[in-house]
Structure 1
């Protein structure tokens, strides 16, 4: 069945969307199903990004893959200018800040400062640079920014404490973005996934997965597309009066 093309003609940039099984690729596909043209930002795997582009183009929209280092100080300007050039436009409608890096440690003492800086540089500074560069081109009365957080920022995780902190910071900084951009009709929201089935990050036998199961109403991993549908909703015209929100896609986790 043909989908309603309420995003027809709009341009969406989805960072970290190169992996076909990831949340970013699923979000890109969901946006494209409703007519959006897509920039697939990726880091290193050009073959995987090309596969994602090919799948999206079967929907009859235009998609391009652009590789820019999110750690770079020129990340935002480089990605925005490459996107505008690729689509011969001066307007960007949707930004999905999905790309992130992370690693886990057994205890506080084992966290290297270089890794701390790497995660904050990529996961917090990168999205900030992208939004800063995009502001002159963001469509007024309909621009959408959606950040991707993590349930670990709320449920707690010693091994993932730094990664979780970056995602918490991104969610908080977005509140300030919404304050500035709201009067222009641009919304800023955060989607917070729980355990999602992406490349076995949350296998059933993992202790963290078992902890989630004991605290969930819906006792299973979610799918990338279930997260993507929430991203789509927040990127759509239906949410013009929704901003500054964190929307949890976590199976109804109960928190302390």
Structure 2
């Protein structure tokens, strides 16, 4: 129980709900949302299994978040669901103050920035300013605001893990805005690793490739492009991503910072 008693905030950690419709342009956006929430829940469980107390962040579905909380409590860890709007200026403050109050602590030990959103545009001509701003507010500004709010409460041994994406490296013509936002997260993480390293706080990125959810990308041009470059010819699992996050959160990764770890079947190195 390497993380016993530590306080962890995991954003986007309520499980996905709703009906998923294949063959529509919105399908990829739905898949990316399901991916985010699926990974977030798996990360929350992985950290709880190591004894951490978990803040389950959600933006919409309270019932879904409470289901995750119940599963975490069944593992013997403490958990609380906190609603916060990732596009709000108070996003970080809401989660940090909620965590400190819920667990009667003055310390935030682990931050996992997993919440995200996406916009799909077949061409640059279709990218509007509102779509750009929405993606960057949720994918880049929200993680920054949470880190900014958490750092004053983090001590030596603190862990910040940001969930990126393999498309930040590979790019994709339909995901220009999303891919660039995840590249921004990587750059921000490297910069923060330099700033926070002297305080004993590590900052790293875990970048998933094609990960299996209740939806599948199979048959889409994006999936085919990724799998053509993969050494392991299958989708990964949310649990495999969570295992990488849990290792980075542990005491065993204290000398690892400013790194991007691809959980992608080798796509990073074609």
Which range, TM-score by smaller chain?
over 0.9
**Residue 110 of structure 2: aligned partner:** 94
CA 1:210–1:94 in 2, change beyond 3 Å: closer, same or farther?
Answer: same
Aligned 1:107-122 pairs, distance under 5 A: 107-122=123-138
Per-residue CA deviations over 1:35-87 (Å, capped at 9, x if unaligned) read 10100011101111111111111110101110000110111111111111111
Q: Please tell me whether residue 144 in structure 1 is matched to residue 159 in structure 2.
A: yes
Aligned 1:146-185 pairs, distance under 5 A: 146-185=161-200
Separation in 1 of the partners of 2:126 and 2:59? 27
2:144 aligned to 128, 137, 140, which one?
Answer: 128
Q: Please tell me whether residue 54 in structure 1 is matched to residue 70 in structure 2.
A: yes
| TM-score, length basis structure 1 | 0.95
1:221 is displaced (CA, Å) by 0.5
2:100 aligned to 84, 100, 103, which one?
Answer: 84
The count of corresponding residues between Structure 1 and Structure 2 is: 250
**Residue 244 of structure 1: aligned partner:** 258
Separation in 2 of the partners of 1:35 and 1:63? 11
Per-residue CA deviations over 1:118-162 (Å, capped at 9, x if unaligned) read 111111110111111111101x22100000000111111111110
Structure 2 residue ranges without an equivalent (≥5): 17-36
Q: Please tell me whether residue 104 in structure 1 is matched to residue 145 in structure 2.
A: no
RMSD: 1.2
Runs of 4+ in 1 over 6 A off after TM superposition: none
1:189 aligned to 166, 180, 204, which one?
Answer: 204
Aligned 1:210-221 pairs, distance under 5 A: 210-221=224-235
Q: Please tell me whether residue 40 in structure 1 is matched to residue 41 in structure 2.
A: no
Structure 1 residue ranges without an equivalent (≥5): none
1:206 is displaced (CA, Å) by 1.6
